[in-house]
Amino acid sequence: MSYKDGLAAINLEKTSRVPRTEYSFERHWELVKVETGIEITEASTPKEQRQASQAMFKAWNVDFSWNIMHIHETDFTKRTDMGHAVFEADGSDYSNQVDCPFKSPEEVLAFDTVEEFGLKDKAEITQRFNNNYKMRCDFTPDAVNMTGIYVSLMSGLIELFGWDMLLMGMGTDPTRFGQVTNRYAEWIMQYFEALAACDAPVVMVHDDIVWTSGPFCSPDWYRKFIFPNYQKLFRPLIDSGKKIMYTSDGDYTIFLGDVVSCGVHGLVFEPTTDMKLFAEKYGKTHVFVGNADTRILLQGSKEDIYNEVKRCMDIGKDCPGFFMAVGNHIPANTPVENALYYNECYKKLGQR
């Protein structure tokens, strides 16, 4: 891993190779075993798994270690449990338990986050961010590390209401739901202020504002209630001198300019967002991460994988802030030979 290369790219300085990050590859135990020589499985102890994952980060020379701090249950004392699909190889993360405390759109539209959750101690939140950042630095000491926030705005509303009630509330009265959004932004501001005060020079803001197919409501609604709140929330981070990295799942191509205008330094993409368009407009002024299609690693031929890596490199190689990554993870069901070949293609095509 190269902290030097990762930091250079974040500062828009070209390096001799395209730096990279990857997601979940370090818990693909069959892949880890092949690449590191460590005998490791999902049944291994947490300590053994941690050591193997660290070795995998080094084996793949990862320069940028994506990380956020998860909000405690004590922060969100009222939230929707939407269950969980299978992601882990052993299926241990699956849950079909669904529970929403909101029973009608009117309850959603009347919700006041500050009144319900109250305000927290800023010093305590800041310390939590610092602890999370230190934990990540200890885990990947040779990469650019960060802490960050997941429930930034739209993701926070999803966490609160779940998709069904969120969409019903928004559909019943978009303006009143916008006011709910504004109230949530007022409450989450304390976390952004704490994030601005923490030790990490690079921070991650994660917010799932779209679906795979794009926006799930009128773009005008986003521009009235999401991006103006972003500008307020990001202001403490900008004033503190933090480098702001931004992630949204799905296709947010339509909002690339809106996100950039809010003051972020870098954007992370899944395969559905148009990275070529972004590079043409902002590739010399902003960092960007992505966006090889994980589905090609899952199902494609070697030729498909090579062409996908080449597509990404053709877009990003001439841009100083480009990081290579497989968009939306290398999950445990990825064929090991495909993941290995992807890594070969990266090393071959990533030289400048």
pLDDT, one tens digit per residue, over 23-68 is: 999 999 999 999 999 999 999 999 999 999 999 999 999 999 999 9
Strand 322-323, strand 266-268: pairing? unpaired
Question: Per-residue confidence at 100, pLDDT binned at 50, 70, 90?
Answer: very high
Q: What are phi and psi of 171, to 5 degrees?
A: -70, -30
Residue burial 27-62, b: 16+ Cβ < 10 Å; e: rest:
bbbbbbbebbebebeeeeeeeebeebbbbbbebbbb
Smallest CA-to-CA distance from 66 within 144, 132, 164, 182 is with 144
Q: How far apart are CA 283 and CA 318, in angstroms?
A: 8
Q: Which residues pair with 267 in a beta bridge?
A: 246, 288
DSSP annotation of 318 = T
Question: Per-residue confidence at 342, pLDDT binned at 50, 70, 90?
Answer: very high
Question: Per-residue confidence at 284, pLDDT binned at 50, 70, 90?
Answer: very high
Q: Which residues contact 251 (CB under 8 A, 6 or more apart)?
A: 210, 211, 212, 213, 214, 270, 272, 273, 274
Tell the residue number behind the tokens 């460590």, with chain if given.
38
Q: Indicate the pTM of the whole model.
A: 0.94
Whether the pLDDT of residue 151 is over 80: the answer is: yes
Element (H or E) spanning 253, and its range?
Answer: none
Largest Cα–Cα distance of the chain, in whole Å?
57
Taking the alpha carbons at both ends of the chain, their separation in whole angstroms is 17
The amino acid occupying position 210 is: V
Q: What domains are there in the chain, each with its CATH number?
A: 1-65+291-352 (no CATH), 68-289 (3.20.20.210)
Q: Which residues contact 265 (CB under 8 A, 6 or more apart)?
A: 10, 243, 244, 245, 286, 287
Q: What angle do CA 159, 228, 290 make, to 5 degrees?
A: 65
Q: Which residues contact 241 (CB under 8 A, 6 or more apart)?
A: 201
Query: Which residue would you say has higher pLDDT here, 328 or 347?
Result: 347
Beta strand segments in the chain, E = 147-149, 202-206, 243-247, 266-268, 287-289, 292-293, 322-323, 326-327
pLDDT at 257 (0 to 100): 98
Q: How far apart are CA 83 and CA 91, in angstroms?
A: 13
pLDDT at 280 (0 to 100): 98
pLDDT at 169 (0 to 100): 97
Query: Which residue would you say has higher pLDDT here, 2 or 40?
Result: 40
pLDDT at 82 (0 to 100): 65
pLDDT at 98 (0 to 100): 73
Residues 322, 283: contact at Cβ < 8 Å?
yes
